[in-house]
Structure 1
Amino acid sequence: MADEIKDGKVDVTRYMVKEGEKVNLKKYSTKCDVSIDKSQVKNLYFPQVIEKLKDLQEKLYAQNTYGLVVVLQAMDAAGKDGTINHVFASLNPGGVKVVSFKQPTTEEKDHDYMWRINKALPERGDIGIFNRSQYEDVIVTRIHDLVHQGQLPQNLVNKNIWEERYEQINNWEKYLRQNGFMMIKIFLHVSKEEQQKRLIDRIVNQQKNWKFSMSDINERQYWDRYQELYEEMISKTSKDISPWFIIPADQKWYTRYIVALITLQALKKIDPQFPKLDPEVQKQLETFKKLIAQVDVKELAEIQTTLSEKASKENKEN
C-alpha cells in the first residue's frame, strides 16, 4: 500500500509545529499549497489512505494496548464535522469514539476543567476524536473571561493562570503518552473570507440551515483575538510527543486528505500488530484446520459420487 500511494503522498511534517517554535498564523496558508491533482486525491489517493487506516485500526483494536487521540480545533465553519465524517466514518465504529465539547453543563462546571476531557478519553485499542477539546479552556474561556464567572476560587484566578493551564495540559498529554495514548492535535486553518462564505451558505441554503447559530456570527467579531490566542496556545503546547499541525482548511478535499495522512502517520508510529496466539491455542487451530480439510475432501467425494451416479442414470435412460 505504501508504494501505491507514494506519488500522491504529501509530507505532512510541513504542517507540523516544532517544539519551541513561535507561531504566526499569517505565515501559514489556508489553501492547498502543494502541487497535487484534486481529482486524483479524491478518487485515488484518499481512498487508498482510508483503506490503510482501516487495516491499522483493526490491528490497533486487536492488540488492545495503545490508544490514539485526535484533537480538532478551529474557528467556526472551518470543517471539523465534515472532516470527522469523511475521514473516520469508514472505520470500524466499534473502535472509534467521537466526542464534541460544547458549552459545559452544570455538572461539568462543578468539576475541574479537565474532568470532562478525562471522561471522554478512548479505551486502549480505540481511536478517540475530539471535536474541540481541553483547549477550549485556554481559548473561549479566555476570550469571554469565563474564569471570573465560574466556580473556580477567585484567589486562584491570577495573572499566571493561562501559563499554569498550558503547563497542566502539557503535563497531562505527557502522562497520557507515557501510558500508551498518543495524541495528535490538528488546527484547521480557515481564512476569514472562506468562513464568511460558509456562514452565508448556512443562512441561504435550506439544507444547511440547521448548522446556523447566532453564536457563529457573534464569535466572528473576535476573529483577531482568536487568531492571537491560537498562535500563543499552539506555540506553548506543541511538543515532540504531542505536536500541533496547522492544516489549510479553505479547500475541504485537501483538508480531509491531510488529516487522513496525519492519522495514518500516527498509527504507523504505533505500529500495532495482531496479537500472537498462545502455543497451545495455535496447536488446537492447526488440528481444527486438518479436520476441516478432511471434511471438505469427504464432502467433495460425496458430491462427485452423486454427480457420477446421476450421469450414469441419464445415460441409461437415453
Structure 2
Amino acid sequence: MEQRIESVLSRFRVEDGKAFHLKDHRPDDTAGLEMKKKEAAELLQRGVDYLATQQDMLYAQDRWAVLCIFQAMDAAGKDGAIKHVFSGVNPQGCHVASFKAPSANELDHDFLWRHVNALPSRGTIGIHNRSWYEEVLVARVHPAIVESQKLPPKLLTKRIWDERLEDIAAFERYLGRQGVVVLKFFLHVSPEEQRERFLKRVAEPEKHWKFSANDVAERKHWDAYQAAYEAAIRATATPDAPWYVVPADRKWFTRLVVAAAIAKALEGLALHYPVLTDAQRRALVQAREDLGA
C-alpha cells in the first residue's frame, strides 16, 4: 500500500523544475484510481485520522513546523481541500491564514513581510490559502499591481519576476534550514471544470456568496496565469520545498492526494512523543503516590 501511495504522489510531485511543463499534467488525472463517493470519503477519513495522530506528535515534540501553501485558479477547490483534509487536526496545533489584497500598511513593507508574520511556530501546521506566490502570479498578469507597491522606479525592471522568484526560492531554503517543512500545492483545474463550478455558484442560492463577477473576468487571462504558474514552479521546485501539481477536476481525488502528501512529509520527520528523563519519571511516580494518598 505504501508503495502504491508513493507511486501516485511521485506522479504529481515536482522536485526539479528545470524540465517542468504544465501541459504534461492533466487536471482530470486520477492515476488510474476510480472509486465511489463513499469509498473515497472512507479512504480520506483514514488519512485524516492518521494526520491527526502525526500532528499530535508534531505538537508534543515541538521541534518541526510544517507550512502548507495552497495556490490555484478560482473554484479549483482550495477551501474545500483545506476543510476536509484538516478536519481532524487539533485546532490548537494548526493555523490558517488567507491572504487577500494587501492593506496600506502591508504595502509599506516588502512583499514577504505579511507572510512572514503568519509563519507557523514550532510544533504547528501552518496553512496559507494563497501566499507570497501571488506576487509572481496575479501581480505578473496585472502589472498595475506592482506599480502600486511603492517600489523605487529603478527596481521595476524586466528582471523583477526572475528576481522575486530567486528571493522566494532562497527564503524557502532558509525556512527549511530553520526546521520549517514547506509543501506547496497547486490545485490544477481545467477551464471547463471551472466554468461548471461557476455556473453552480450562480444557480444555487447557498453558493451565491462564493461568486464574484471578477472571477469570470479573470478567465480572460487564463493562458497568462498558466504561464505564470509554470514559471513559478520551474523556478522554485526543490526536493526540500516540492510542488505538488494536484489534478483538481475531481475533488475527491484532490483531497486524497493532498492528505497523502502531508502524511508522507510528516512520516519523514521521525516524529515521536518526548521521552521522559529519569527525573521526570520519578516525579510522575511521586505524583501518583501523592494523588493516591
TM-score class, shorter-chain normalisation, is over 0.9
1:244 is matched with which residue?
243
Q: Which of 102, 110, 125 is the aligned partner of 1:112?
A: 110
Contact 1:139–1:230 (CA under 8 A) maintained in structure 2: yes
Is the counterpart of residue 13 in structure 1 residue 10 in structure 2? yes
Cα distance, 1:281 vs structure 2: 1.6
CA distance in 1, matches of 2:4, 2:148: 53
1:40-97 deviations in Å (ceiling 9; x for gaps): 6424321111111011100000111110000010000000001100011221001110
2:229 is matched with which residue?
230
Larger Rg: 1
1:214 is matched with which residue?
213
2:78 is matched with which residue?
80
Q: Which of 136, 143, 147 is the aligned partner of 1:138?
A: 136
Q: Which amino acid aligns with 1:59?
A: M
The aligned length equals 291
Cα distance, 1:287 vs structure 2: 4.2
Cα distance, 1:35 vs structure 2: 2.6
Change in Cα spacing, 1:45 to 1:7, as seen in structure 2 (3 Å) is farther
Contact 1:25–1:227 (CA under 8 A) maintained in structure 2: yes
Cα distance, 1:187 vs structure 2: 0.4
Cα distance, 1:215 vs structure 2: 1.5
Change in Cα spacing, 1:6 to 1:236, as seen in structure 2 (3 Å) is closer
Map 1:140-289 to 2 at 5 A: 140-145=138-143, 146-289=145-288
Contact 2:169–2:236 (CA under 8 A) maintained in structure 1: yes
- Further displaced range: 24-33 or 8-17: 8-17
Q: Which amino acid aligns with 2:252?
A: W
Change in Cα spacing, 1:183 to 1:221, as seen in structure 2 (3 Å) is same
CA distance in 1, matches of 2:18, 2:109: 33
Contact 2:8–2:31 (CA under 8 A) maintained in structure 1: no
1:71 is matched with which residue?
69
Q: Which amino acid aligns with 1:14?
A: R
Is the counterpart of residue 44 in structure 1 residue 16 in structure 2? no
Q: Which runs of 5+ in 2 are unaligned?
A: none
- Further displaced range: 106-115 or 10-19: 10-19
- Further displaced range: 35-44 or 112-121: 35-44
CA distance in 1, matches of 2:21, 2:247: 14
Q: Which of 87, 93, 115 is the aligned partner of 1:95?
A: 93
Partner-residue secondary structure (3-state), 2:214 = helix
Cα distance, 1:19 vs structure 2: 1.1
Contact 2:106–2:113 (CA under 8 A) maintained in structure 1: yes
Q: Which runs of 5+ in 1 are unaligned?
A: 296-318
1:246-279 deviations in Å (ceiling 9; x for gaps): 0010011110011000010111111221112231
Partner-residue secondary structure (3-state), 2:268 = helix
CA distance in 2, matches of 1:8, 1:244: 17
Change in Cα spacing, 1:193 to 1:131, as seen in structure 2 (3 Å) is same
Partner-residue secondary structure (3-state), 2:49 = helix
Q: Which amino acid aligns with 1:82?
A: G
Cα distance, 1:103 vs structure 2: 0.6
Cα distance, 1:114 vs structure 2: 0.3
Q: Which of 11, 24, 32 is the aligned partner of 1:27?
A: 24
Contact 1:9–1:45 (CA under 8 A) maintained in structure 2: no
Q: Which amino acid aligns with 2:67?
A: V
Q: Which amino acid aligns with 2:48?
A: I
CA distance in 2, matches of 1:40, 1:210: 28
Q: Which amino acid aligns with 1:198?
A: R
Contact 1:76–1:195 (CA under 8 A) maintained in structure 2: yes
Is the counterpart of residue 122 in structure 1 residue 120 in structure 2? yes
1:314 is matched with which residue?
none
Q: How many percent of aligned residue pairs carry the same amino acid?
A: 40
CA distance in 2, matches of 1:192, 1:239: 28
Cα distance, 1:189 vs structure 2: 0.4
Q: Which amino acid aligns with 2:175?
A: L
CA distance in 2, matches of 1:76, 1:68: 25
CA distance in 2, matches of 1:111, 1:170: 19
